[in-house]
Amino acid sequence: MATHLLKTRVLSPHMHGKLLCAMTKKLAVIQTTEAALHLSTFVDGRYFSIPGLRTLTDALRIRRAELQTLVDGPQGNEIFGKLMPPISAESEIWGAGVTYLRSRDARKEESGVPDVYQRVYEADRPELFFKSNARRTVGTLGEIGIRADSNESVPEPEVAIVVNIFQEIIGLTICNDVTARSIEGENPLYLSQAKIYSGSTSIGPMITPMWEI
């Protein structure tokens, strides 16, 4: 499957702070010179380790209350490296579609089978779809993928909810759900082709903890 690559600015840390309640502390994933990925706190333009917590995977395996205690506890050493997408290697990104009236109307206008979207909008069961994993996801200032066989592709900025293994919401971040709109409009069964490909998801730059919102 061919894709073209384009530059996208997900959000700078400054803009992320403005949009998600400009509090003091954010969670960031930093790749150090040793190629290790470290979960850190972002405070006043600097990154710091979290004593007792090494990776985002570790953070997703404990209760939110315990995570808050560690994040708000003593500050660790300063970390230097590259800001990475805030997603663990084991995590998946899922989307929910046709969740509000404007979305329903837009999908009906574009689709050759408009009644499908009306039924989804009115149904008790939501439309949920797999979007991406860590390997297919890019971060801030990364390159998104555009399918060569789609004549209309659009960015869809979303608020992403970060959930741990206990089904607790630990924080929010920003997600760009890139969609090959012309492919989705041709046939609703082509949704996976329109949504899932290398570079179809950008996320970040950081996670705002729920207790900071």
Using one digit for the tens of pLDDT, what is the confidence trace for 83-103?
999 999 999 999 987 655 555
Mean model confidence pLDDT for the chain: 84
Distant-in-sequence contacts of 152-160, Cβ < 8 A, 24+ apart? 152/180, 152/181, 152/182, 153/178, 153/179, 153/180, 153/181, 153/182, 154/178, 154/179, 154/181, 155/8, 158/95, 160/93, 160/203
In the chain, ranges of CATH 3.90.850.10 domains? 92-212
Minimum mean pLDDT range among 18-22, 54-58, 72-76, 196-200: 18-22
Residue 5 has pLDDT above 80, yes or no: no
Residue 7 has pLDDT above 60, yes or no: no
The helix (H) or strand (E) run that includes residue 105 is: helix 101-110
Write down the pLDDT at residue 16: 47
d(CA 13, CA 45): 9
Amino acid at residue number 142: G
End-to-end alpha carbon distance in the chain: 40
Of 207, 206, 208, 202, the C-alpha closest to 9 is: 202
Write down the pLDDT at residue 27: 98
**Cα dihedral sign for 178, 183, 185, 191?**
negative
Residue 106 has pLDDT above 80, yes or no: no
Q: Span 129-156, mean pLDDT?
A: 92
Q: For the whole model, what pTM was predicted?
A: 0.82
SS3 per-residue string spanning 9-71? CCCCHHHHHHHCCCCCEEEEEEECCCCCEEEEEEECCEEEEECCECCHHHHHCCCHHHHHHHH
92-212 classified as CATH 3.40.1710.10: no
Burial environment of residue 158 by CB neighbours within 10 A (0 to 12, 13 to 18, 19 or more): middle
Structure tokens at 133: 């994993």
pLDDT range class, residue 6, cuts 50, 70, 90: very low
pLDDT range class, residue 46, cuts 50, 70, 90: very high
